[in-house]
Amino acid sequence: MTASPEPLKRRRRYQREPPERPLSLTGHKRDLLRYIADYGILSSRQLAALADPSPKSVQRALRALYDAGLVDVVPVPRAALADPGSANEAAVVYGSAPNLYVLTRAGAKVLRDRGLAGNPRVLAGRYGPRNHLFLGHTLAVQEFRIWTELASRRYPDHRLEVWRDGPAAQIDLGRLRPPKVLRPDAWFRYRVGPRVLVGFLEADRGTERGSRRWQEKITAYTFLFRSDQLRKVTGRRHARVLIVTPDDRRRDRLAELIAEHALPEVAPRFWLAGQSVLAVPDLSRPGWIQPGGRLLQPLLSPELLAAEAIKQP
């Protein structure tokens, strides 16, 4: 009679275990490290979207990187990442939040030693149960960036060539009176052949009451668009403000607010969409509206994409 195999030991989520063999830093693991270093913080699902369509393969690789001390898992309560529109009930409290990964100093050293990153973001130790506020907003910004990154892979002449978020996205308006600084969640340059789309991202979570903050933002963007600061910072004279909301109802409400408070020449620069538009990484997918209108539009017209595709050899 043969003995039954011993059950596999379940690894603890927030406790490293000695690896059975030295870490082999394969191309897959290097890609994951580089994405975490570049973005700062990513969920396992987001890493799977960027690096590998197999979540299990990504989980195994991330566990190896974690046990080797190259990444950290951020311990946060499930409520920290709950959808703002979800029901306020016990289900939000119980259960685990998705794994969030950040780079450690050891991971940054590995990337630098191999010439894979010049100045990687080391956020290990910055987030935890006591300071998890704004993590949901941070991941919403990452979600948009991933959307543009994946969209650019669909066409050979597309490229997300510049991305700035957080403090790096702030723009001095060159004014002595408020508003002195514009603080978008991010700004980017997306290239389509010889053409460039400059966008300012506002990831709205629908958590703020009243309209004061949005009126202040409209004023700041108005000064930006009427000055030469836009060209100095982005290299372009034209840009759009892209607002992603939790749902279409919030999208329509903000569109009405902007139509009411923005100048006629500034309002059309605002483009709004519900979070569902990010489900498919395609900038030619209709899903955006402008203040004063209800027609769903794509950020890039299919005619433009078709024209650029014809130019390819």
CA dist., res. 239 & res. 229, Å (int): 12
CB 166 within 8 A of CB 137: no
Burial class (CB in 10 A: 0-12, 13-18, 19+), 224: buried
| Cα angle 145, 164, 248; round to 5 | 40
CA dist., res. 94 & res. 278, Å (int): 28
pLDDT of res. 7: 47
CB 198 within 8 A of CB 187: yes
Write b or e for each residue in 22-39: b if 16 or more Cβ atoms lie within 10 A of its Cβ, otherwise e. eeebeeebbbbbbbbbbb
pLDDT of res. 98: 80
Residue in this structure with the two tokens 């990154």, named with its chain if needed:
149
Q: Which residues pair with 181 in a beta bridge?
A: 172
pLDDT of res. 8: 45
pLDDT of res. 53: 74
Residue 11 is given by DSSP the state P
CB count within 10 Å of CB 130 equals 7
pLDDT of res. 313: 38
Residues of the chain with pLDDT under 50: 1-8, 87, 310, 312-313
Single out the residue of 100, 107, 132, 141 nearest to residue 121, CA to CA: 107
Residue-level length of the chain: 313
The number of C-alpha atoms within 13 Å of 104 and in the hemisphere containing its C-beta is 13
CA dist., res. 82 & res. 122, Å (int): 25
pLDDT of res. 130: 63
Residue in this structure with the two tokens 């994946």, named with its chain if needed:
150
pLDDT of res. 305: 66
Q: Which residues pair with 163 in a beta bridge?
A: 188
CA dist., res. 42 & res. 65, Å (int): 14
pLDDT of res. 69: 93
Single out the residue of 75, 46, 74 nearest to residue 38, CA to CA: 46
Multiple choice CATH, 27-113, 1.10.10.10, 3.20.20.150, 2.40.30.10, 3.90.650.10: 1.10.10.10
